[in-house]
Amino acid sequence: MNKKVISYNSYYEGLLQDLFCGNDGLFSLFLHFFYQYNNIFVFNNNFSNKFQTLYKLELESCEKVCQLIFNMGGDAKYYSSTKKYISGMNIDYMKNLKSTLELDIELVEKSTIDIKNIMTKIENKEIKRQLNEILKIKTAEEKILKDTYLQLIQLK
């Protein structure tokens, strides 16, 4: 199904695996946004479409990292490079929309920094190209979150 198109590098695989399913990885962020989308109806239905867009964008980021791992012959598992399994413990279950948005902005900014940090450690051009695509997604997520935050503040 997936053929190896990037030379295998265990170091790169570990970096990408941590980006995918580390404590602060993309899959944790996906779960975070998906939880918020499912619960937004409880505490502020006005922004449900924003959170739906966010979790779909984050899922796209996850798919891109998984594809990179598979394309080098690895296996994108639901654990970090140190074999620590992902769990729902990394999701913030707060119900205050203002606090949620503030945390979300921080998480996306941290994710962006993590990706840029990984890019300094990787020389493979295809991996860097895909990581740049994920950075574009992060920029879109950050804009959605900041715009939503401003909307919320103006409503009060």
Tokens 């937004």 -> residue: 40
> Are 15 and 122 a contacting pair, CB within 8 Å?
yes
In a domain, 28, yes or no: yes
User: What distance in Å separates the CA atoms of residue 56 and residue 67, rounded to the nearest whole number?
Assistant: 16
pLDDT tens, residue order, the chain (156 aa): 456 678 999 999 999 999 999 988 999 999 999 999 998 877 777 889 999 999 999 999 999 999 999 999 999 999 888 888 988 887 888 888 899 999 999 999 999 999 999 999 999 999 999 999 999 999 999 999 999 999 999 876
In a domain, 105, yes or no: yes
Tokens 């109806």 -> residue: 41
Alpha helices in the chain (DSSP H): 10-21, 26-43, 48-71, 97-121, 125-155
In a domain, 4, yes or no: no
User: What distance in Å separates the CA atoms of residue 108 and residue 148, rounded to the nearest whole number?
Assistant: 14
**Nearest 5 degrees, angle CA 109-CA 33-CA 17?**
65
Tokens 């941590």 -> residue: 18
The model's pTM: 0.92
> Are 41 and 48 a contacting pair, CB within 8 Å?
yes
The pLDDT value given to residue 1: 42
The pLDDT value given to residue 94: 80
The pLDDT value given to residue 56: 98
Structural domain count, the chain: 1
User: What distance in Å separates the CA atoms of residue 120 and residue 113, rounded to the nearest whole number?
Assistant: 11
In a domain, 97, yes or no: yes
In a domain, 2, yes or no: no
The pLDDT value given to residue 2: 52
Expressed as residue numbers, the domain containing 106 is 10-155
Q: How many CA atoms lie within 13 A of 70 on its CB side?
A: 11
User: What distance in Å separates the CA atoms of residue 133 and residue 37, rounded to the nearest whole number?
Assistant: 24
CATH of the domain at 138: 1.20.1260.10
> Are 81 and 18 a contacting pair, CB within 8 Å?
yes
The pLDDT value given to residue 89: 81
